[in-house]
Structures are given as C-alpha cells and as structure tokens.
Amino acid sequence: MPLQQDCVVFTGVSELSKCLRRMCDYPADCEVRSVIRFLNAKNVKPDEIHRELVEIYGENVMTDGMVRKWVRQFNDGRTNVHDEARSGRPSVVNDGLVGKVNKKIRENSRFAIRMLCYEFPQISKTVLQEIVTNRLNYHKLCSRWVRKCLRMSTKRRDLAVL
C-alpha cells in the first residue's frame, strides 16, 4: 500500500519537532498556530509549547504571551488557526462613483486618468486608475479606452457611441 508509506504519523512531540525543524525558517502564522493547537491537544503546557516553538523556529517566532493567548482560545473552543477578517480603511469606491466615472469615459473615450482627476478632485489618481482598469475593465488601445474581453456585438455598440 503506497499510501501508507507516504503518510507521516507523529507519536510524540520529539518526532513532530524533528519534522518541523526541516520545514522552513520563516513559518506562516497559521502553521505556528497549528503546532500550538496540536501540542495543546496533547495537553502540553504553554511554557513547553513556547520552548518547542523557539527551539524549532528560532527566538522571533512568537512571544510566550501570544502562545498563552492562543492556548486559551483553543481551550475555549476555537478551531480555526487563520486570522479572522478585520475591517480595514473604508473604501471610497462605491457603485455611484463607478457609474459616474463610466459616464465620463463614455462621453470621451480619448481621456487620460489625469483628466478624470480634474472631474473628480476628491478622488486620488490611483483610485481612479483602479476604478477604470479593475472595476470597469477598460484598457488603453490606440489612445482610446475600451473594455476588455467583450463580445463583438458589445464592441461594435461601444465604438458606435464614439
């Protein structure tokens, strides 16, 4: 059975440590948390978990306090080792703004992004570039902005407006 030969089963902390030493110098956060979760399930104390992590990954892997925090969270029932989604800075891009930018583009397809900056002074040049290229899927073609990947009928309709 070749499948059984490829499987790795850890019977103790020392075997896990030997395997992890070979993995990488800069582990992902979720990898370290997975090790914490595994060792916590084996009823290893947080101090010992931190010592093992430092031994395997080096001194800068995670602080003792963070190991204790994750052990506490796993003991409280958390099973996910990945970061939870956090709200970042609110985006200024909304459907209304995208519609206004699209309307300006349809009025004059031979525009430059800096010309849009004059039309929308409250919006940065980078955000306008992102709206035009990513949200509206336009790209520059012979000094005209045209949509990417359109059907031929849509291309004819768009060019007829010009």
Domain of 52 in residue numbering reads as: 24-76
pLDDT digits (tens, 9 = 90+) for 60-91: 888 999 999 999 999 999 988 888 877 777 77
Which two structure tokens, joined as six digits, stand for 52? 């093992």
pLDDT digits (tens, 9 = 90+) for 11-49: 565 665 555 555 555 678 888 999 999 999 999 999 999
CATH at residue 72: 1.10.10
Compute the distance between CA of residue 110 and CA of residue 117 in angstroms, rounded to an integer: 14
Verify that 71 and 41 share a domain, yes or no: yes
Highest-confidence segment of 23-27, 57-61, 153-157: 57-61
Contacts of residue 113, Cβ cutoff 8 Å, sequence gap at least 6:
125, 128, 129, 132
User: Which of 76, 108, 143 is a domain's end point?
Assistant: 76
70 domain-assigned: yes
Q: Is the pTM of this model over 0.85?
A: no
